[in-house]
Structure 1
């Protein structure tokens, strides 16, 4: 089962906004995305379910997930699908164009790591004995 690092109340505290109706789904997706793109490349202690054991690390992960969800909402692309598809569309005199070079959602704004994620994970409270960003160790 996928780990979810933040809750609806944490999202509302982080953003100061009312959570969208589908916040549970968005937080789950953000958790999965950050697990794959960031957290798996870091060192931190975990429990049997893979959740961080340190409260400061867990709080930073919650902030990172909330930041990722907020980013998706602000850029208008919560799944990464916005950059895929059409290149140019005309409706009457209105013309809309997207890059011809984007062929997958991986390059979409919704699939970028939010800048505030890095802020949360670079907190001075996360000392090297608790969390190391970008350290992969093989046993």
Structure 2
């Protein structure tokens, strides 16, 4: 697990699968989880906080609070065993991102897309958040002191949107929307032809949006049932 781009504040999922001598999943008599932090201190997770997912399967979402390398240790008895998990945590987005607010984390990216985050996921999520802000000009929603939406459903929609935007940029290899200037382009074995705009035209901000970003915003409804974009449809192109 070492090397994954978690950031301070992310929940790091620590899983443990216990089997008997024959390889059959088996619940141990006891199980403990300790996490050694970068400063050398150790946090002991109460056994009651571990999630017993199924026979022999346990997990815990560790809330990271410190940058650096962490070492987690699951210890079990009957059957006896020891599992060591190492993971790295990068500094908080608050001190490393080029844009605020940032609507998603590396853990969100993994959850939403099912893919491992790219090495520069912090910067790219921040850039996608800045792009999302451009698309949201004219929209009304409540924000907190950090300019992040206070409604949980809107916040979740924003997180999905920026994650899918980063994944789409990976798929197309065109994070800057060059396809709007050059309507036909090839990226490896993928050939893309855009019908809107001609050579030398920049198109609209929506033209370089990931299809699933558009879906996330079109379907975004707050806790009161009000859609983010009101009764008016989003016009793309």
Q: 1:79 to 1:124 in 2, by over 3 A?
A: closer
Which of the residues 207, 211, 236 maps onto 1:115?
211
Aligned pair 1:52/2:140, yes or no? Answer: no
- The 8 Å contact of residues 125 and 166 in structure 2, kept in 1 or not, is answered as yes
Q: CA deviation at 1:42?
A: 1.4
Alignment of 1:14-53 (within 5 A): 14-37=112-135, 39-53=136-150
Higher RCO structure, 1 or 2 (CA under 8 Å, sep 6+) = 1
Cα deviation 1:13-69 (Å, max 9, x = unaligned): 1111111101111101100011012x2221111112211011111111000101111
Q: Which runs of 5+ in 2 are unaligned?
A: 1-98, 185-192, 232-237
Q: 1:83 to 1:113 in 2, by over 3 A?
A: closer
Q: CA deviation at 1:131?
A: 4.7
Q: 1:22 to 1:120 in 2, by over 3 A?
A: same
- The 8 Å contact of residues 151 and 223 in structure 2, kept in 1 or not, is answered as no
- The 8 Å contact of residues 43 and 132 in structure 1, kept in 2 or not, is answered as yes
Give me the whole-angstrom Cα distance separating, in 1, the residues matched to 2:160 and 2:110. Answer: 11
Q: Tell me the TM-score normalized by structure 1.
A: 0.70
What's 2:229 paired with? Answer: 133
Q: 1:73 to 1:124 in 2, by over 3 A?
A: closer
Q: Tell me the TM-score normalized by structure 2.
A: 0.43
What's 1:91 paired with? Answer: none
Aligned pair 1:7/2:105, yes or no? Answer: yes
Q: CA deviation at 1:122?
A: 2.9
Q: Which stretch has the larger CA shift, 7-16 or 41-50?
A: 41-50
Give me the whole-angstrom Cα distance separating, in 1, the residues matched to 2:101 and 2:108. Answer: 15
What's 2:41 paired with? Answer: none
